[in-house]
Structure 1
Amino acid sequence: MANLPQSLSMNAAAFGGPGSSSASLSAIGTQANKDRKMMFAEQPVLDLSNPDLRENALLELSKKREIFPDLAPLLWNSFGTITALLQDIVSIYPVLSPPNLTSAQSNRVCNALALLQCVASHPDTRMLFLNAHIPLYLYPFLNSTSKSRPFEYLRLTSLGVIGALVKVDDTEVISFLLSTEIIPLCLRTMEMGSELSKTVATFIVQKILLDDVGLDYICTTAERFFAVGRVLGHMVAALAEQPSSRLLKHIIRCYLRLSDNPRACDALRSCVPDMLRDATFSSCLREDPTTRRWLQQLLHNVQGPRVALQAGTGFDHILVN
């Protein structure tokens, strides 16, 4: 077991000697409590490497991961632990197609994915996780089209791992994801997933678009832009039947960010759904001033007065390339 928290040394401050203060005593108490919690995590982490004990260890750690602040470094630096998690993930690939995944199999792998999300979220392990290309192990789950509960649970938990990566604004993370199939995989989920998985997938696309590298990537070709625009348009139409304020917020933010690109903004004049231009979603937006402001800005960008673009800078130009 490597890099385990070191015990606190006893010093004068700990005994209230010269130089002690309430702040230092409080810091010592906080650290001691942190170390005590980590001691309870060490044995289950060791158990992950034992196939006979792994399932219970996965369940225990996934339930309590929020109370172990440095669980991610412990998982990463413990011999064989990440390999054990990946073994559980890879083991269910054969039941993905044809779809024969059971609830028990799904639950076990989702517990493993929850620990990987912990690693993806921690600042000390995020880039190590990315450099090891571990997100690629999750893509078969996002590629599934089955809507059964075990598959949807697996899809949502996998998206949670990717969501943890993009939550922190980091161009290196975005560049890595764009070198993979993350955009078409997210678009697939945005079309056929549950409301919750659609929301997480749209959030991931939104975070990619908010990075300049991501916006440039989507708007470089008409094919990419219209693939994203088509899915966003279908989602807006579906929301007219089954409204979701949370999902609508992410969709509008995606449209607004696309309008920051001059060529995309020009194309959006005919691509933004009419339902975003009329009062279809007024009830959804009544209690959400931020999203209302985003929508107003979007409509201003695509409908307001604009300086004429130079010839060859709109999407009509790249459609012939």
Structure 2
Amino acid sequence: MKLSVHPVSTTLLLGSCLALALSACQREPAPAQGAQPQPAAAAASLPASVEPADHADAALQDVIETNERYIIGISYPKGLDRYPGLGAVLSGYANDARGELMDAVEGFGNDVPSAPYELSLAFEIVSENSQMVVVAGNGSRYTGGAHGQPLIVRFVWLVAEQKLLPVQELIPDATGWSTISAYVAEQLQDAVAMRAEADKLEPAERAELLKDSGRMIEEGTQPSASNFEQYVPIFDARGKIVALRFVFPPYQVGPYADGVQQVEVPAGLLYPHIAPAYLELFAH
């Protein structure tokens, strides 16, 4: 089992200028486990492919904007000029996120929010080889309330085909999702049980934690590709995929305080369910 949990900060530091600006903003503490959840990560619909010629001359520039009404920080990794189609997808996602923030800001008219609204978004290349490029986008958008809305998104780009590889295209059959769902849910439940044991909870507290966590895990890991859209291929030294790491934003399989949760599913479990066109990408 490989499972990791990473807390999501409501403010992602994108350079010293943005860091200083964000430090002036106060946030209330995260709600208790029983609090009404906000929506999970904002994952805009992503096009399967983009015509590179349409965006070949569009250079991606980091963005820092600060004023009394809003703060925006967006950063892109170096090297994306080699993949203009992928750059266009990232830019489109960032522009959509910025547009939603500005819609909220404009809702104030001439007034000023009590704390500046924020968009903080950083992209990074997490792996790259001759066949695939994988980019992670992490950040948050704050438009009032206790804390920001996490922005957790992963992009898997096929270099030769010049298109994204959506998880439902990689694993097209329902049987595969039933298998993955059962495996992931078990890993997440085991992690909760181990945490309860480490915290030495009283029996009643332990039972309540397992019950509440079990409900969220069951709902968030239903056997549908839509629950597993954010994923990262894990490669061996030959560049073959040995596992898929599924990434779950806060609220999907646990409370906000649990942060981003990840579970790696080994290639051996996945291989029978991979679309024939992509079998050669996997170690077996």
In the superposition, the TM-score normalised over structure 2's length comes to 0.22
In the superposition, the TM-score normalised over structure 1's length comes to 0.20
Question: Higher strand fraction: Structure 1 or Structure 2?
Answer: 2
Larger radius of gyration: 1
Greater RCO (Cα-Cα under 8 Å, separation 6 or more): 2
Question: Higher helix fraction: Structure 1 or Structure 2?
Answer: 1
